[in-house]
Amino acid sequence: MKDFIRSDFGIDEKVIGFCNEILKNLEDRFSHIDQNAEYNQLKVVSAFQKEKISAEHLSGSTGYGYDDAGRDALERVYAHIFETEDALVRPQIVSGTHAINLALAGNLRPGDELLSPVGKPYDTMDEIIGIRDCPGSLREYGVSYRQVDLLEDGGFDLENIRRSVNEKTKMVTIQRSKGYAVRPSLSVDRIGELISFIKEIKPDVICMVDNCYGEFVEKTEPTQVGADIIAGSLIKNPGGGLAPCGGYIAGRRDLVESAAFRLTSPGLGKEVGATLGVNEKFYQGLFLAPVVTASALKTAVFAAAVYEKLGFKCIPDSKSARTDIIQAVELKTPEGLLAFCEGIQSAAPVDSYVTPVADDMPGYDSEVVMAAGAFVQGSSIELSADGPMREPYAAYFQGGLTWPHGKLGIMKSIQSLYEKGLLTF
């Protein structure tokens, strides 16, 4: 295998040896990841069986999508898995950002206020909230926004959160993953503690969690610790690499229904929405999601271990517990970030010959470089990396449908930096 990696992928003997030494110390971490995957796999199978999923559920609908038994059963499966009253799982939800917008806009009204107690959300939320001007933003519809930044140590600023919750506060948004910040991602336990604190201040406030990148990483989900509603993308963890599009919302029945009215139309809600033949892939992807997520987690832990050893700051570090699949590596320079992404791209099964370049992207306030040679465009459960061209020039690495492919991607990223003289052994 070593000769194959060296000859076909151009990876230097020094890189191979270095990575193999690191791997010797990761057996216990990988074993823990596999144990969680087994638990979540059984949870998914149990949900399938409770709904008596059969071949008839794998076909789709056209036109209005009335009486789509497969779609409706899949939403009940999601509700079982997340222990919620209801769920909305649709190909018409184009991204995780879209799913979050549906959850927010469907449940906020003029005069309400949205609070983020964990600092600024991901860049693509700026125009939804109205931090950056955009037609159709919450601000344009009279919804105000405030945020409370995390403390320097990553803790919650409870004093300022308490002061910020007021009579207008209708909804709280909690981003589980770090996004393009260099803070730690939030564990389900920490999310539960934060929700409990906020509910003590105002029991009727709606707590929404952006669950992107976090599904099946832990044994519990935010809806099991008090979240009223969660949202995510099917081309991340829960799609298992097979879902070609789509997103989901799960939570309290009235909140999910309001989001559905925003997705389709008042009066129609969940009753319409053709699935156009994607039901089978949605079911298969969900079935595979726990083990695919485990592969991505192993890749992330491996990435942290090797880049820490090479002297780069990694968030989270290689020993920290994981609550999402994102691994941030601070490359320190624009050249380093570009080289990292070039290496990831060169390991891809699709478009491996393409060189990633930084460019303006819709929804971002600075140039972004993205490496993603994926079967599904933009699928970040597949081997991928991206980052904004600004200090600290951090690469946000995620995915890997299989652990061997994830390992190859990290080795190729190291090789790319090594060839450009940006690291030494």
pLDDT at 417 over 90: yes
pLDDT given at position 400: 95
Token pair for 307: 């880049």
Task: For the chain, give the percent of residues with pLDDT over 90.
Answer: 93
Residue 80 has pLDDT above 80, yes or no: yes
How confident is the model over 127-137, as pLDDT tens digits? 999 999 999 99
The pLDDT tens digits of the residues spanning 303-355 come to 999 999 999 999 999 999 999 999 999 999 999 999 999 999 999 999 999 99
Domains and CATH numbers, the chain: 2-40+289-419 (3.90.1150.60), 42-286 (3.40.640.10)
- Give the CA count within 13 Å in the CB-facing half-sphere of 257: 7
- Residue 2: pLDDT band (50, 70, 90) is low
What average pLDDT is seen over the chain? 96
Using CB atoms within 10 Å of the CB of residue 203, give its burial: 0 to 12 exposed, 13 to 18 middle, 19+ buried.
Answer: exposed
Does the pLDDT of residue 3 top 90, yes or no?
no
> Do 185 and 151 meet the contact criterion of CB atoms below 8 Å apart?
no
